[in-house]
Amino acid sequence: MEDLICKDCGKEFKHKSYYNRHLNKTKPCTKNTKNKNNNQTNSGTEELTNDNIYNPPNLDYNHDNYDKLDHNDSIGNNELLNDNLFHDTLSENKTNNSNKLNVLDLFCGCGGMSQGLHDAGLNIIAGIDWWDKAINSYKKNHSHMGICADLTQFPPEKFQKEYNIKNEHIDIITGGPPCQGMSMAGKRDVKDPRNSLFMEYVKYINYFKPKAFIMENVIGILSMKNASNEKIIDIIMSYFNKEYNCVICKLYASDFEVPQNRRRVIIIGIRKDLNIKPVEPTKILSESERVPVKNILLPRKDIDKSYYLSEKALLGIKKKKEKALANNNGFGAQFLDLNKPSFTIPARYWKDGYDALVKYSETEIRRLTILELKRIQSFPDTYILDGSKKDQIMQIGNAVACRFAYHLGKYIMKILQ
């Protein structure tokens, strides 16, 4: 395993994202600063400079501290919300691993869920995903295993025998089996093979019998039917309900300190012999306290021209809007209300950005930068993403928002105590 030690101050890091963040920090290390940033990997952080690092609020998760957030009134005037290295200072991660609950993250993508659960104090053993770009990102930010494998060809027995060589107990299984097949935004094809990927998840649960599981998916899962007209959710729950007490929740990430609405289905299951009945996790913020997107936007002066829509695109939007109004239809381009959390960022954001645009005026409309998209999903600024811009945006759009996952992790830890 790679050594994560700062050459300047000698500080050791368990987690790659903390290490990268440390290398990027604004204040130099006290000793020998001349090598600072020499080792830094820049993939996916091209807009990041030492002057604009965003750190999520350094809350001690006592909600009273929320007021410490710097709610600026002007667009993109966020500078540093907090100079502390948020993910690095969480006391939860300084405890001994032997006391921690072990997690296996299936369909882990670039690691949004893993990052949040890790921040909450859980011990991630491995993440598995078949997309090489996402796994490359995962490995660049996490020091535990990132396994590139097709889960339909990678049964739990194989993971256990070939990868879990220390025979670590799996306490929690998490993951978001792909949802494109059942997303309301997609075609919801009943024959889409991606809809049966849930069974891979079930296989892992049946094999490891973890204390708990957390499954994330799109809202569409609740109404999706298979070719025999059965509700997918009923089929899934018929497996889970056998050995787990479950709760199905519809939650907004924005209620959990994420500057984005992102409504998702979260199914939490606790093994029946533990005699715990999970309930819906309590919201962290009230509606009026939700984090407005203006808090995380970059200053206008820092936005490259390439992010602005062309005259042709502006005209196209205008025409489509007129047509949609005449036909009484909705229209796809959405402009952010800067005083509210962002609209949901989907994986397809790379196509045109119409899901969430910043509008300064009728003629100045722009897409969000990768750094802003990361912030909207509450990834640390230093989180490294592999691949082309399209790949990176897809990974961000696929992810569970880190801060949301953090609160889910906290909830699970609390009820398993």
Catalytic residues: 179
142 is written with which tokens?
A: 């996490």
In this structure, the number of other CB atoms found within 10 A of the CB of residue 101 comes to 21
111 touches ligand SAM (CB under 6 A): yes
State which residue, 131 or 244, has the beta carbon closest to ligand SAM. Answer: 131
399 touches ligand SAM (CB under 6 A): yes
What number of residues does the chain have? 417
383 touches ligand SAM (CB under 6 A): no
The 3-state DSSP class for residue 379 equals coil
178 touches ligand SAM (CB under 6 A): yes
145 touches ligand SAM (CB under 6 A): no
152 touches ligand SAM (CB under 6 A): yes
Q: For ligand SAM, which residue of 18, 19, 131, 379 counts as binding (CB under 6 A)?
A: 131
Exposure string of 328-366, with b = 16+ CB inside 10 Å and e = fewer, is eeeeebbebebebbbbbbbbbbbeebbbbbbbeeeeebb
Note whether 166 and 160 are within 8 A (CB): no
182 touches ligand SAM (CB under 6 A): no
Distance CA(400)–CA(127), nearest Å, equals 14
Contact range with ligand SAM by CB under 6 A, out of 4-12, 21-29, 127-135, 279-287: 127-135
104 touches ligand SAM (CB under 6 A): no
Shortest Å distance, C-beta 408 to ligand SAM: 11
DSSP H/E element including 213: strand 212-217
List the x/- string, 340-379, binding to ligand SAM by CB under 6 A. ----------------------------------------
253 touches ligand SAM (CB under 6 A): no
Shortest Å distance, C-beta 93 to ligand SAM: 18
| DSSP string for residues in 79-119 | S-S--S-HHHH-GGGGS-GGGSPEEEEET-TTSHHHHHHHH
What angle do helix axes 132-141 and 389-398 make, rounded to 10 degrees?
80
Applying CB under 6 A, the residues found at the interface with ligand SAM are 107-113, 129-131, 134, 150-152, 176, 178-179, 197, 398-400
